[in-house]
Structure 1
Amino acid sequence: MGCVNKILAVLDADSQQQKALNRALHLARLSGAKLTLLLSIYDFSYEMTTMLAAEERDTMRDSLINDRKVWIDDLLEDYNTRDIDIRIEVVWHNRPFEAIIETAIKGDYDVIIKATHQREGIANLFFTPTDWHLLRKAPCLVLLVKEHDWPEHGKILAAIHTTGEQEHHQSLNQRITEAAQEFAGWLQSDVHLVNAYPGAPVTIAAEIPEFDTGSYRESLKESHRQALAEHGEKFSIPSANQHVHEGLPEQVVPELAEELDAELVVLGTIGRTGFSAALLGNTAEHVIERLNCDLLAVKPEGFQSPVKV
């Protein structure tokens, strides 16, 4: 994976707190990356104003875009932006996630930074918010920001998947760990590895009384421990920073992140489409709802965004 040279930070027009901006300025200062601040706006009433000619609608829309650019300039006056290369981009788009991804592709950005908010109710099972779309479809790293600080000498938790010998798993594990170490270098943090593995199926114990569940679980844990140790050795990550836990990733990862007081969790995400994605999401989406810290989502090598530019 390459270094982070270009950052795309998504501003929140409806929030007093600009968590993504805070994090982006911090990262840009540490990494020396160029920073673009993006605001996606849209007002349906402007498109429906039939009393106005197309040219007049365009003029009104451009005026609104310029107003928001002035708002961003005013916003930046409260921040230390010295020595940071900052661009401002305001786009008119009725689907914010597409605006973000299109901008990321056009500008060849290395990471998208966006604040994420607590979601409530069953509606989010069917109407996926912008951050879910970004996790599935963004072509680059996605950093979803919560409330946790980024202290120096903190901990970064990289969640990897050691089951099987599939080449795509090994490649994604490598990308996840490289990203974790890159951020750890900037933040002067320690990298920890975690691997969650499934327990013994209850049906086997029920159907085969002589099946030794305890022995099976120990053997499974040892297999994963060895695989994690081999992976950790490649990146010089000490055994004390390697964690193998039985259970689902969406349970194991947030619990360990809280136990370590991690400032950042790094994991892989593979895009899904269709009804199953809307209903179920994927591991990254289930994990972030339980995290109290930032999440950095890493795509597999060669991932192509389904969003067309």
Structure 2
Amino acid sequence: MQLRQLLVVITPHRDEQPALMRARWLAQQTGAAIELLLAEHHPGFEQTLLLAPEIALQARDTYLKQQQERLERLAAPLRDEGLNVSCCLRWGQTLVSHVLERVEQLQPDLVLKSARHHGLLSRLLLGNSSWQLLRHCPVPVWLVQREGQQPKRLCAALDPTHSADKPAALEHELILASRELNEKLGLEADYLHCFAPLPHSLMFDAELVIDYPSYVAQTEKAHREALTNLCSHYSLPQANTHLLSGFAEQVIPDFVRAQHIDLLVMGAISRSQLDSALIGHTAERVLEAVDCDLLVMKPPAFAEV
């Protein structure tokens, strides 16, 4: 994953911009250029029952000028540091469509967007725009929720057996991206794969029920061999490679908390062209359960089919 051009989605009407601060840090470390994208819309400017159309249009232009000035104020401190920062202002209700359109035009290496964290529930509350970006954006998406805290550790969640039907190349992309983040940003990288044997209570084959421990051992062996084979291409430190038993939606969040992971790297694919398409049932359950930054990547030849 190259880091030459970053696209930051600015959250309207918020002083805190965690995604912008993370992009600033990334640019400082890599020299990447940054573009700030703000998609604004206010229905009041289009309700012209009480205002003449020309007055409503003038009011909207004034409002957009103010928002452009706001973008420039956000960019100014970064430019003062010598960073290459541009600004893009769009008008319209559909944030995701503006982001995807700009992604197609700009061809950024990474899209960054702020995500809200609910302290009482200790989980990310991903809004509709975040989910739509994860589902449909062809470039990696980094959801940022910890302003002012620079990442130190990342975890790449791998699926070397491709049980979730993901293209094999995606696992290699996750490892390559994690290694690059380790080398360029100094993030300590862990690589995790989890597997879940069928519970004893669900085993209906008489021979398997009798020798259930052997079934579990064989399952673990198969997953360990798959993980070892995948990691052998990259000489990953054994101490940073983990195979754990259990369901991903439980094991991964537990690992993230126990190991103080700041960034979870996952792969996902869009299942269809429907707006309700999932990026993967397991991935969605995991993403809702963790309390760290999220980097979601797609296959190299990503296409919504």
Q: Tell me if structure 2 keeps the 8 A contact 1:192–1:237.
A: no
CA distance in structure 2 between the partners assigned to 1:114 and 1:276 by the alignment: 21
Of 180, 183, 202 in structure 2, the residue corresponding to residue 185 of structure 1 is 183
Q: Which residue of 2 aligns with 1:250?
A: 249
Secondary structure, aligned partner of 2:203: helix
In structure 2, C-alpha distance between the alignment counterparts of 1:215 and 1:170, rounded to whole Å: 28
Q: What is the TM-score with the length of structure 1 in the denominator? A: 0.85
Matched, 1:214 2:213: yes
Aligned residues of 1:7 and 1:35 also touching (Cα < 8 A): yes
State how far apart, in whole Å, the 2-side matches of 1:166 and 1:24 are.
Answer: 31
Q: Which residue of 2 aligns with 1:48?
A: 47
Structure 1 residues 167 and 48 mapped into 2: Cα distance closer, same or farther (>3 Å)? closer
| Aligned-partner Cα distance in 2 for 1:62–1:275 | 32
> Alpha carbons of 1:99 and 1:202: their partners in 2 closer, same or farther (altered >3 Å)?
farther
Question: How far apart, CA to CA, are the structure 2 residues paired with 1:276 and 1:89?
Answer: 28
1:233 to 1:190, Cα distance in 2 relative to 1, 3 A = farther
Per the TM alignment, residue 207 of structure 1 is displaced from its structure 2 partner at its CA by 5.5
How many residues in Structure 1 have an aligned counterpart in Structure 2?
295
Aligned to 2:158: 160
Q: 1:266 aligned to 2:265?
A: yes
Matches within 5 A, 1:54-203: 57-76=56-75, 81-118=80-117, 129-147=128-146, 149-151=149-151, 154-163=152-161, 169-202=167-200
Distance in 2 separating the partners of 1:208 and 1:112: 52
Greater shift after overlay, 83-92 or 254-263? 254-263
In 2, Cα distance between the equivalents of 1:30 and 1:177? 20
Cα deviation per residue 1:111-156 (whole Å; 9 max; x = unaligned)? Answer: 1101111369xxxxxx9611100110001010001227325xx322
2:280 and 2:92 map into 1 onto residues whose CA distance is 25
Question: Residue 237 of structure 1 aligns with which residue?
Answer: 236
One-letter code of the match for 1:156? L
Letter in 1 for 2:235: S
Measure how far apart 1:205 and its partner are.
2.6
C-alpha RMSD over aligned residues: 2.7
d(CA) in 1 for partners of 2:171, 2:5: 23
What amino acid is the match of 2:142? L
The 1:67/1:176 distance shift into structure 2, 3 A limit, reads same
Shift of 1:34: 0.7
Q: CA offset at residue 206 of structure 1?
A: 4.9
Q: Cα offset for 1:76? A: 4.3
1:5 and 1:33 in contact (8 A); partners too: yes
Structure 2: how far apart are the matches of 1:58 and 1:15?
Answer: 25
Distance 2:99 2:128 in 1: 13
Q: CA deviation at 1:276?
A: 5.9
> What whole-Å deviation, never above 9, does each CA across 1:225-268 have from its counterpart, x for those lacking one?
12111211211211111111122222221211222211211110
Structure 2 length as normaliser, TM-score?
0.86
Q: CA deviation at 1:72?
A: 2.4
CA contact (8 A) 1:159 1:265 kept: yes
- 2:122: which partner in 1? none
Q: Which string of whole-angstrom CA distances, capped at 9 and with x for unpartnered residues, describes residues 28-59 of structure 1?
A: 11111110011111111212225433x65444
Tell me the CA shift for residue 272 of structure 1. Answer: 3.4
Identity %: 26
